[in-house]
Amino acid sequence: MENRLNYYQIPREEWRGFYRDQYVPLTSQELMKIKSLNDVISIQDVEDIYMPLVHLLGMRMKSHDQNQNQLADFLGIKHRKTPFILGIAGSVAVGKSTVARLLRDLLTEIFPDKKIQQITTDGFLYPSKELKKRHILSRKGFPESYDMPALVSFINDVKNGLPAKAPVYSHQSYDQVEGEFDVVYQPDVLILEGINVLQLPSNQPIFVSDFFDFSIYVDANEDLIKKWYFERFDLLLARAKNEPDNYYYPYAQGDWNVAHKMAHDLWYDVNHPNLHDYILPTRNRADLILNKGENHLVDELLLRKFV
Ligand SMILES: Nc1ncnc2c1ncn2[C@@H]1O[C@H](COP(=O)(O)OP(=O)(O)O)[C@@H](O)[C@H]1O
Ligand SMILES: CC(C)(COP(=O)(O)O)[C@@H](O)C(=O)NCCC(=O)O
């Protein structure tokens, strides 16, 4: 383990040994269940990377509850369960939602009495018609394309134990789904994943990350991220082939070289500048940076030294 300014730099081989003697590993049946829910994930990564992470999160959840109770005692008010909010940031297509889903399933398995919910900030993108009205359709994913006040108000409601509704985004329709919401109500843990969760918009008095109890930045070399973006694009195209309502249907029916050119342009005109100007600068605000290499395998972790 190396000491870097503000972070411990931990290679995979060292991380996998952490906390090992203090928890019971998942049985092969439990591992198969996790694999069936997350078919792309490597079982080796579940054991070596994500299980120690879940146990670290368990410790942080415990201290979060203790801190909240201490504060209530100090103020002389009733103890109230406050959700633990876990933020997951990183580039478009780096694997944030896959990590979020996996952590949700692992936390549910390890802490069966806790209610774990997961939301993506994609739903807080303005609908396409609003983006068009604002002349920012080509800025999708950039800070101005999100309804950040609505996102902050959502997370504030969750923290305060109120029922909160998150709009739903569909990669298939490439737009917000009208009238569809995910309802979050008094979870023990909420996992909030999105490219923008660690951003600090200058026109806002309060930020999404002010509500976080732990945050993760999923990182990888841009050539790999780009490759994963193109692979996902092909999956979206393949799925769209027989779905006339799908946004990608006309591209899937036509010449795939044309579609690939579009994906290439979207990466270089939109996602690449967004990554460098607005997403990467938030990396060093995370409590943990997960570094992924080939085949999405985690090769190194950076854990914030001071909690
Ligand atoms: N650990 C993983 N193993 C294999 N494939 C993965 C893994 N994580 C993500 N992927 C794939 O990479 C692509 C991008 O992942 P996704 O979770 O959609 O990214 P994001 O939410 O950051 O946009 C998807 O096609 C997904 O299936
Ligand atoms: C909706 C998104 C901003 C969110 O990113 P993701 O969930 O993939 O991390 C992104 O997928 C996107 O649509 N970017 C705009 C350019 C493009 O079509 O790739």
What does the pLDDT average to over 218-246?
95
Residue 98 Cα to ligand 1 midpoint, Å, equals 5
The pLDDT assigned to 307 comes to: 85
Task: Tell me the CATH number for domain 2-304.
Answer: 3.40.50.300
Asked whether 40 lines ligand 1 (CB < 6 A), one says yes
Strand pairing partners for 190?
Answer: 85, 117
Q: Binding site residues for ATP, as ranges?
A: 90-97
The pLDDT assigned to 21 comes to: 67
Residue 90 Cα to ligand 2 midpoint, Å, equals 12
H runs (alpha helix) in 91-147: 96-110, 128-133
Residue 102 Cα to ligand 1 midpoint, Å, equals 11
Closest ligand 2 atom to the C-alpha of 174?
13
Residue 126 Cα to ligand 1 midpoint, Å, equals 23
pTM of the model as a whole: 0.97
pLDDT in tens, 109-131: 999 999 999 999 999 999 999 99
For residue 23, pLDDT over 80 is answered with no
User: To test ligand 1's pocket by mutation, which of 40, 46, 47, 88 has the most ligand atoms within 8 angstroms of CB?
Assistant: 40
Say what the ipTM of the complex is: 0.98
Query: Among 167, 170, 164, 119, which Cα is nearest to 147's?
Result: 167
Residue 92 Cα to ligand 2 midpoint, Å, equals 6
Give the pocket of ligand 2 (CB within 6 Å). Answer: 92-93, 96, 122, 140-141, 195, 266, 270-271
Within 8 A by CB and 6+ apart from 174, the residues are 128, 247, 248
Ligand 2, atom 15: closest residue by C-alpha: 140
Other residues' Cβ atoms within 10 Å of the Cβ of residue 202: 6
pLDDT in tens, 69-110: 999 999 999 999 999 999 999 999 999 999 999 999 999 999
